[in-house]
Chains A and B, each alone.
Chain A
Amino acid sequence: MKRIACLLLACVSIALQISADAAEPPLIRFGRGFAAEEQVWLMSARPDLTPNQGKRYQLKQILFQANPQRFQAYLAGEIDAGTAPGLSVIFANEQGLDIKVVASVCMEAAGKEWFSTTYMTKDDGPVRSVKDLKGGTVGVVGIKTATDLWARAGLLNAGLQPDKDTKVVPLGFPAMGDAVRTGKVSAGTFVEPFYSAEAAKGGLRKLFTAVDAVGYDHELLDLWFGEKFLKSNPEAVRAFLADYVAVTKYYLANTAQAKRDLHKAGFVRTPLEIYLKNADWKRDPNARVNVESLKKLSTFMREKLNWLEKPVNVDALVDQSYLPR
């Protein structure tokens, strides 16, 4: 009798476990970066701002240092979604990666209220304009990254041939300020928080910005999902993006508090007083993607830089139907 009771108990507990598993909302394994993605990080730092999290989807954020590794992790089935610069998504699409851009994270935009990635040179150095970079070197954070694209665009605008007239070399953001000051590079790429810190030290002068280089406001970072995940879990993606938009609006309305929360949760290591003062990139409150800017970028990458071997259909790459209406 005891045996039968034990057997029944085991069956009931297994059934309960199975039903509990079935009720678990889908897990989104999300590949995040380390800059300019505040609203994404806030979803994990302040889950109370995301009413759907835990109910209609679960979120696990995984940090990646570089974009190619994020896509490789996706190819290996280790992540379902992530953030990536517009040009990286274009590269990925050209290679046949089955991903869709579903929302915008932030943009490079003109205007005093927004930050745009800035190229600076030594204040008392010989470089007075971009043309003076002939024979010099520009430091970018990585080859075929957005910073590389803007540097090349800036050089082309000044009639210089990247690699021939001016070398473009990768250099970490933290080393950029000293590299420019000591003349190791003629100009360097500066993003926040390094821009504010280096500008405060003095001795550097602005040459051009990312927006100056390409000539229009454009997508800096986008949010993408794998097509398989989109098809198998459309409701979870909708719920995730509803929360994402809500968090974006919260971030824009309460930036200082949001930054404090991110700092407290360890997403940002910059000293809080500097982080609070940093200028921010433009973020669309509804997370809508500027598709036209991605098209222009893709054309520029193919026609001017020869970075793409075949054209990319940006309209097919972007799917904003999962965003809240």
Chain B
Amino acid sequence: MRALRPLLLIAGVLAAWEIASRSGLWNPLLFPSLAKIAYEFGLFLVQPERLMEAWVSLYRALGGFALAAVAGVLLGMLMGRSSLIAGLLEPLFSGTYAVPKLALFPIFIFVFGIGSLSKVALIFLECLYPIVIVTCHGARDVNRVLIWSAQNMGASRAAILRRVVIPATVPFIFAGCRVALPVAMIVVVITEMISSADGLGYLVIYSLSSLKTDRMLAVVIVISLLGLALDRALVFLRNRLVYWDRLDTYYV
């Protein structure tokens, strides 16, 4: 029963949608019934070319995210532990965090081309910020008593980093990644909607252009399920690696 609880809200939303669709208050072209959306969703799953579009979006999103994770963790750790690097980079990051990087997409197209590279580059940039900022806070907030204790026990700087700072920062790194991963999915879909001949964003625009709202919503469901699957995978990985600080123990 407890496992079913999260599904209750989803069931409620779906029921409200179906009631709205059948009420006749809105045009069915705007509010297609769940049956129509489910039919299109089923079609999506059995058509290899559409699954291929999902794969295209997924590898772009994961490519940009992976690059951002590597660079972001490195920069965040450096900023968190070195006042010199923090002094250099923090004004840049805090000054440009609010800039909608999507506005730079036309420049990215000219630099990296219309294909996947421009999209991966933009995803990298969008994902970099949350990972850097959260990692930096994590690295900065390491309990000083732990560091002093390690120093008193004669641990070297490398040992302190390996045995104290990194383990204490890992939960923050995962927190930054959990913020960045949905951002990667959002950016890949938007950039594909703007300029692409493939991917899920392209399918969204393709469906919208011929007023096939049911097909477009089926693609939206696929995007949302992919986002959910990626997040669950990240949480699974976190709970495995950060076994001393599992997420499901927070409410105990």
Contact = CB atoms under 8 A, between A and B. Distances in A.
Contacts, number: 69
B117 to A, nearest CB: 11
A75 B28 CA distance: 9
B210 A95 contact: yes
Given A75-B27, A143-B205, A169 B195 contact: yes
B211 A184 contact: no
Interface string B199-241: 0001001101111100000000000000000000000000000
A178 B106 CA distance: 11
Interface size class of B (residues with CB under 8 A): 20 to 34
A171 B105 CA distance: 11
Given A171-B195, A184-B109, A68 B208 contact: yes
Most chain A C-beta atoms within 10 Å of own C-beta, residue among B26, B27, B209: B209
A132 interface: no
Interface string A176-217: 001100101100000000000000000000000000000000
Contact of A144 (B30, B106, B197, B210): B210
B197 A169 contact: yes
A139 B110 CA distance: 13
Interface in A151-169: 163, 167-169
A170 interface: yes
Interface string A124-152: 00000000000001010011110000000
Given A68-B211, A167-B197, A170-B196, A184 B114 contact: yes
B205 A142 contact: yes
A16 interface: no
Contacts of A178: 110
Contacts of A163: 197
B194 interface: yes
Interface of B is mostly: loop
B49 to A, nearest CB: 10
Interface size class of A (residues with CB under 8 A): 20 to 34
Interface string A67-97: 1100110011000000000000001101111
A307 B211 contact: no
B146 interface: no
Contacts of B205: 142-144, 170
B212 A144 contact: no
A253 interface: no
Given A143-B205, A163-B197, A185-B114, A72 B30 contact: yes
Contacts of B26: 75-76
A181 B194 CA distance: 20
Most chain B C-beta atoms within 10 Å of own C-beta, residue among A68, A97, A163, A185: A68
A14 interface: no
Contacts of B114: 137, 139, 169, 171, 179, 184-185
B29 interface: yes
Nearest to A148: B209
A76 to B, nearest CB: 7
Contacts of B113: 184
B197 A91 contact: no
Nearest to A92: B211
A170 B209 CA distance: 13
A67 to B, nearest CB: 8
A97 B29 contact: yes
30 contacts: A68-B208, A75-B26, A75-B27, A76-B26, A76-B27, A91-B209, A91-B210, A91-B211, A92-B211, A95-B210, A95-B211, A95-B212, A97-B211, A137-B114, A139-B114, A142-B205, A142-B209, A143-B209, A144-B206, A144-B209, A168-B197, A170-B195, A170-B205, A171-B195, A172-B106, A179-B110, A179-B114, A184-B110, A184-B114, A307-B210
Which are the 6 A-B pairs with shortest beta-carbon distances?
A: A144-B209, A95-B211, A75-B27, A167-B197, A91-B210, A169-B197
Interface of B: 26-27, 29-30, 106, 109-110, 113-114, 194-197, 202, 205-206, 208-212
